[in-house]
Amino acid sequence: MDTVIVKGSEMASVIKAKLKEEVNDLFPKPQLAILLVGDDEESRRYVRLKEKAVDEIGGQCRAINLPENTTLVELLGQIRELNADPHTHGILVQLPLPGPLATEQETVLSSLSVVKDVDGFHPFNRGKLFSTPPFLVSCAALACMDIITMYRNPRGLLTVLVGDSFDLVQPLALLLMARGSRVCIIPEAHEWEEVAARADVLVVEKGRPLMVKADHLKPGALVIDAGFHWEAGRVCGNVDPMSVTGKAGWLVPVPGGIGPLLIAKLLENLLTAYREQVFAADDW
Ligand SMILES: Nc1nc(=O)c2c([nH]1)NC[C@@H]1CN(c3ccc(C(=O)N[C@@H](CCC(=O)O)C(=O)O)cc3)C=[N+]21
């Protein structure tokens, strides 16, 4: 079977070109604030990718790098300032938070202004997924949903999600359920093989580098790699692309798959947040 390699980076370019046109007519320009605590190399790399993407569509991006030893009170103070700043339309707190702040993640996410929460991580926005329509939704889940619905009608399909994250697996499960998919969640990459072998759509967030091989797949499956492992400065995913090519119907690879597309979805969320704040305010 021919395997289609899904180019998330090309889908992202199409979205960004459309957003760029829209932003061209907007004054003030949409502005995203990114809060990065500490200097983790991987996180800094992701922040740079996001800054570049905002720049590409003609928006403004402020990356604020706080020291590793920032206290919860200081971080909440910074967020409160950004919440109140009318020039800031979107706020993103880069995760994971370092050290002792990691256990305060929910407190931090809860302190974000709901309309500026471009990640869709505020508990209100996560809860809104149980309602129709939701408001700001996690970019990773939106990216997967875009790809799945581009190639398949989810209704009745067996969709297997390996992982349990609040930023991908939980929201994606709800979006797929709403579309009539038979969703199966395997929280850890442990005894996942039996169910995965029957999956029409397989999303693998948790796992080990190159863990998924051809033998694990139903022929023709749509396979989305959502694992990012850094080894010697290079990124690789949970799916072995060499192995699954010829067995999968579609492969969304790492790199060049879900990653670039999720950043494009972040830009869409920034525009949603912007419209909500700037245009909704005009209505008064
Ligand atoms: N508040 C918050 N929001 C996030 O959206 C968020 C986060 N924290 N923490 C970390 C994860 C991870 N994440 C990725 C973004 C882009 C790629 C991406 O574009 N990857 C490239 C490879 C990397 C590269 O080219 O440097 C690719 O797959 O082609 C991957 C992963 C967003 N995250």
Q: Whose CA is nearest to atom 7 of ligand 1?
A: 95
pLDDT at residue 283 tops 90: no
The pLDDT tens digits for 5-49 are 999 999 999 999 999 999 999 999 999 999 999 999 999 999 999
Query: For residue 28, what pLDDT is reported?
Result: 97
Q: Which of 7, 35, 43, 49 to mutate to test the pocket of ligand 1 (most atoms within 8 A of CB)?
A: 49
Q: Does domain 26-116 sit in CATH 3.40.50.10860?
A: yes
Instruction: Tell me the DSSP string of the chain.
Output: -PPEE--HHHHHHHHHHHHHHHHHT-SSPPEEEEEEES--HHHHHHHHHHHHHHHHTT-EEEEEEE-TT--HHHHHHHHHHHHH-TT--EEEE-SSPPGGGGGGHHHHHHTS-GGGBTTS-SHHHHHGGGSSS-SS--HHHHHHHHHHHHH---TT-EEEEE---TTTHHHHHHHHHHTT-EEEEESSSSS-HHHHTT-SEEEE-SS-TT-B-GGGS-TT-EEEE---EEETTEEE-SB-HHHHTTT-SEEE-TTTSHHHHHHHHHHHHHHHHHHHHHHHHHT-
Pocket of ligand 1 (CB under 6 A): 45-46, 49, 92-95, 119, 139, 228, 235, 254-257, 259-260, 262-263
Question: Model confidence over 193-242: pLDDT tens digits?
Answer: 999 999 999 999 999 999 999 999 999 999 999 999 998 889 999 999 99
d(CA 114, CA 120): 8
Q: Where are the domains of the chain?
A: 26-116, 139-259
Same fold across 26-116 and 139-259: yes
Q: What is the pLDDT of residue 284?
A: 53
Q: Mutation test of ligand 1: which of 228, 229, 231 has the most ligand atoms closer than 8 Å to its C-beta?
A: 228
Structure confidence at residue 232 (pLDDT): 84
What pLDDT, on the 0 to 100 scale, is given for residue 282?
61
> Tens digit of pLDDT for each residue in 46-76?
999 999 999 999 999 999 999 999 999 999 9
Give per-residue pLDDT as tens, 105-133.
Answer: 999 999 999 999 999 999 999 999 999 99
Nearest CA to ligand 1 atom 30: 259
- Residue range 139-259 forms a domain whose CATH class is alpha beta
pTM over 0.95: yes
Mean pLDDT score, 261-266: 98
Q: Choosing from 78, 116, 117, 119, which is the catalytic residue?
A: 119
